[in-house]
Amino acid sequence: MRKLLLMMAFVAVSFSAAAQKGNFNVKAGLGVANWLSNDYEENCNYKLNWKVGAGFEFRVCKLIGIEPSVMLNSKGTKWKWEGKTVKFSRTANLLYLETPIMCNFHIDEKWSFGAGVYFATLVDDGGTDLYAYDSGLCFGGKYQFGNGYFLGLDSTLGRTDLGLERWNFTMGAIFGYRF
């Protein structure tokens, strides 16, 4: 809980420190989630995931911006196991409070691409016994329309073992509004 409070305080300080240059945005998205594993025998399949949140991008210069965000992100997987006499299937629905910190590179006023890191705290484990924290890399790109709306793609690649030699992976589309 202490780490979550420190993470939220960091984001709040980043937002207030950057209030002079930058813009606030709200965003939501749909995509797919899965677990990556070293065990190629396991039948993990993609499941639908969603995310919703807000961010603040402050410009370091004309071409570069730093964007911390706070997102509620669903992750998990669907998997099947079939033996000679037993068939088993299950869906792991995980819900994370995620803080991605992206470094965005603005090609022009409409296009930007970014990469960064994320830190996440497990809010709902869906009945699984996984570690309560996740972190990893995030990537994305977006197109800014002239009226404040934007459309983009993003992906996260977990680098924290969830406790079963598995890592989170998400990929999807984002729609948002920049104020």
9: alpha, beta or left? (left if phi > 0; alpha if psi -120 to 50): alpha
Average pLDDT, the chain: 85
What pLDDT sits at residue 156? 94
Q: Are 157 and 120 in contact (CB under 8 A)?
A: no
Give the pLDDT band of residue 2 (cuts 50, 70, 90): low
Average pLDDT estimate for 65-94: 84
Give the pLDDT band of residue 52 (cuts 50, 70, 90): very high
Q: Could you give the number of structural domains in the chain?
A: 1
CATH number of the domain where residue 151 is located: 2.40.160.20
Q: Which of 9-18, 64-73, 145-154, 167-176 has the least mean pLDDT?
A: 9-18
What pLDDT sits at residue 161? 77
pTM of this prediction exceeds 0.85: no
Q: Are 133 and 3 in contact (CB under 8 A)?
A: yes
Count CB-CB contacts under 10 A for residue 100. 26
Q: How far is CA 106 from the centre of its chain?
A: 20
Q: Are 34 and 169 in contact (CB under 8 A)?
A: yes
What pLDDT sits at residue 147? 92
pLDDT above 90 covers what percent of the chain?
Answer: 54
Residue 145, helix vs strand vs coil = coil
Q: Are 144 and 88 in contact (CB under 8 A)?
A: no
Give the pLDDT band of residue 116 (cuts 50, 70, 90): very high
Residue 3, helix vs strand vs coil = helix
Structural domain of 85 = 2-178
Enumerate the β-bridge partners of residue 170.
33, 156
